[in-house]
Amino acid sequence: MLKTSWLRIMLRRGLVVLILTLAFYLPLTVSVRAQLPFLPQINWETFNLNQNPDNAVVSACVRLDGRCVFRLLGRRSNLTQRVRYTEERLKEISQTYFAQQQDQLEVYSENQGNQANIYVVIGDSQFPMMTLNSNDADTRGVNLEHQAGQIANQLESGLKQARQERSRSHMIRQARLAGIIAVIMLLGQLAIADGLKRSHQVKAQLQTNEVSWLKSLAGYVNQEQKLNLRAIQYRLLQVVQVALWLGGILAIFGLFPQTRSLQILLITLIRIPLRIFLVGLATYILIRLSNILIAKLNNTLAANYVLSRDIRRRMQVRITTITRLIGGLIAILWIILGIITALSLIGINVTPLLAGAGILGLALSFASQNFIKDALNGFFIILEDQYAVGDVIQVGGFSGLVENLNLRITQLRDGEGRLITIPNSEIKTVANLSSQWSRAEIDIPVAYQAEIDLALALIGQVAQEMGQESDWQEQIIEPPEVLGVDNFSDRGSVVRIWIKTEPLRQWAVAREFRRRLQKAFEQHNIPLPTSQQKIWLEQ
């Protein structure tokens, strides 16, 4: 608690220092373009994935120190090579310009028929920069002379700005801004780390305090909603953490001309993974929100029914199973939509893929007949309420608690902890041991030399006393029924008793009843029989 309070105090003080620092330094940089820690050179076009054919006319930036100086038009097939050559030429000229002691620069254009040549004059030296033709102007809807003059002005402004950015005073301002950004990143990291820690602790506490849906559907739904909301909050905090560091690094790279090209390179490298990541994040959030909504609707539906206790409990089991099934189907739907959206955003035409997926699905439907049988049988299992998640069933030679049920498979957890997976198409006959109510069927051996009537009375008395206790009254639905002597065995007479219990409570009730009966037999001197055999010898 003290550590958390100390952290909050430090965060508040850090924010005050940050505001004062910004108030002092930002006025010093207002007159200088691109001094603030923004990324004006990054726009949607930076992330755009060109999908035009090679003969389409597109535009591209000619960059100096990563900053767009002017734009060139041309066909995609040869524009990249032209821009690359122009940038190399501009880099050579800029190095000569930066090496000059005095700022002597002039950029002008000269028309020669259907072409316009742009020259750069540095001191007493003249350098040819580039040549424009009529296509460069016609596409923009202007004449060649106007286009050449506009590019010359942009080129001159870009070179002067690049020289000014290398001055000592400018570098000091940028270093201060980089320090401010680093402080913001550290303060943000502290706040996010504290939020992640709190979210993780709450999530761990919710997972520790498990609420059985067999006891309270409302409590189970409430816990699931909290877990889903905490999961969304935790993922969003992680995304903010990554965005904070990535944005801070990009902002610092953009402050200095020597590193601005690394900024553009990093943006180019992450543009496709970033789109896929954002689509995946949106899909994850939609799946979580869908689970919350489905659970809430099912809880409201179950709460509106005024039914008997047994029917209401069974409805809770069915609703839980149907909730998991619908949640899984909706999750698959969101994932498919997310994949289609991601492929579309990264520039892949999804129309042929969808057509091919339809044909492939038709072919798979003929090849996967077992899958269709599993799905149909699983649908009828859920519709007819043969069993649900949380029931104990016997299928063939296997028995156990149903942990997972979907349209294709049923998964059981047996007494040894083994997870048994059974395709739904193989389930022909099933025994449900926990549908609506259960029964503890107990066989009690009584020695032949014991008083059988006394033993029967004692068995009924122990069962009646147990059913009247508050700890067991809720678990035992009806008064126990002593059936009498059911069989004779090598250990003695076998007395059978039935105890009707809540679902899945028959084993606990049977174990407690046997313990109490053993103590009662010892008090009344009724021995527990052992296996006996008589051997007849004849000569």
Q: Could you give the CA distance from residue 245 to residue 227 in angstroms, rounded to a whole number?
A: 27
Give residue 13's pLDDT: 46
- The answer to whether residues 128 and 119 touch, using CB atoms and an 8 Å cutoff, is yes
Chain-centroid distance of CA 457 in Å reads 61
The string of pLDDT tens digits covering residues 413-442 is: 888 888 999 998 888 888 888 777 888 888
| Torsion sign, CA atoms 194, 200, 206, 208 | negative
The string of pLDDT tens digits covering residues 69-80 is: 888 877 777 788
Is the pLDDT confidence value at 121 over 50?
yes
Give residue 180's pLDDT: 92
Q: Identify the band that residue 212 occupies on the pLDDT scale cut at 50, 70 and 90.
A: very low
| Closest by Cα among 149, 285, 175, 310 to 229 | 285
Range of 24-38, 290-304, 356-370, 495-509 with top mean pLDDT: 495-509
Is the pLDDT confidence value at 225 over 60?
yes
| Closest by Cα among 188, 184, 167, 181 to 263 | 181
CA-CA distances (angstroms) from residue 290 to 196, 223, 296, 333, 397?
23, 15, 10, 11, 38
Is the pLDDT confidence value at 307 over 60?
no
Give residue 186's pLDDT: 92
Q: What is the pTM of this model?
A: 0.55
- The answer to whether residues 460 and 498 touch, using CB atoms and an 8 Å cutoff, is no
**Structural element, H or E, at residue 118:** strand 115-122
Rounded to an integer, the average pLDDT of 323-351 is 82
Q: Identify the band that residue 206 occupies on the pLDDT scale cut at 50, 70 and 90.
A: low
The string of pLDDT tens digits covering residues 3-44 is: 444 445 444 544 444 444 444 334 433 333 333 333 444 444
Cβ-based neighbours of 95, under 8 Å, separated by 6 or more: none
Give residue 40's pLDDT: 40
Angle at 184 between CA 183 and CA 189, to 5 degrees: 100
- The answer to whether residues 91 and 69 touch, using CB atoms and an 8 Å cutoff, is no
Cβ-based neighbours of 100, under 8 Å, separated by 6 or more: 122, 123
What backbone phi and psi angles, to 5 degrees, belong to 477? -75, -45
**Structural element, H or E, at residue 169:** helix 168-208
Least confident interval from 357-361, 372-376, 448-452, 505-509: 357-361
Q: Could you give the CA distance from residue 442 to residue 145 in angstroms, rounded to a whole number?
A: 105
| Closest by Cα among 90, 255, 97, 103 to 165 | 255
Name residue 153's amino acid: N
CA-CA distances (angstroms) from residue 505 to 214, 299, 418, 439?
11, 24, 21, 8
Rounded to an integer, the average pLDDT of 31-59 is 48
What backbone phi and psi angles, to 5 degrees, belong to 105? -145, 140
DSSP state of 26: G
Chain-centroid distance of CA 436 in Å reads 36
Least confident interval from 109-113, 206-210, 221-225: 206-210
Both structure tokens of 9: 């105090």
Give residue 368's pLDDT: 63
Give residue 177's pLDDT: 92
Cβ-based neighbours of 317, under 8 Å, separated by 6 or more: 213, 214, 388, 389, 390, 391
Q: Identify the band that residue 219 occupies on the pLDDT scale cut at 50, 70 and 90.
A: low
What number of CA atoms fall less than 13 Å from residue 149's CA on the CB side? 5
The string of pLDDT tens digits covering residues 227-240 is: 778 888 888 888 88
Q: Could you give the CA distance from residue 508 to residue 511 in angstroms, rounded to a whole number?
A: 5
Q: Could you give the CA distance from residue 39 to residue 247 in angstroms, rounded to a whole number?
A: 9
Least confident interval from 55-59, 301-305, 317-321: 301-305
The string of pLDDT tens digits covering residues 463-493 is: 888 888 888 888 888 888 888 888 888 788 8
Cβ-based neighbours of 64, under 8 Å, separated by 6 or more: 87, 90, 91, 94, 158, 159, 162
How does the average pLDDT of the chain come out, rounded? 77
> Beta strands 409-413 and 398-405: pairing type?
antiparallel
Q: Identify the band that residue 532 occupies on the pLDDT scale cut at 50, 70 and 90.
A: low
| Closest by Cα among 453, 449, 442, 467 to 518 | 442
Is the pLDDT confidence value at 214 over 60?
no
Reduced 3-state DSSP string for 395-443: ECCEEEEEEEECCCEEEEECCCCCEEEEEHHHCCCEEECCCCCEEEEEE
Give residue 292's pLDDT: 81
Give residue 207's pLDDT: 63
- The answer to whether residues 149 and 109 touch, using CB atoms and an 8 Å cutoff, is yes
Q: Could you give the CA distance from residue 526 to residue 514 in angstroms, rounded to a whole number?
A: 14
Give residue 432's pLDDT: 85
Give residue 269's pLDDT: 85
Q: Could you give the CA distance from residue 332 to residue 325 in angstroms, rounded to a whole number?
A: 11
**Structural element, H or E, at residue 497:** strand 492-501
Give residue 221's pLDDT: 61
Q: Could you give the CA distance from residue 162 to residue 103 in angstroms, rounded to a whole number?
A: 12
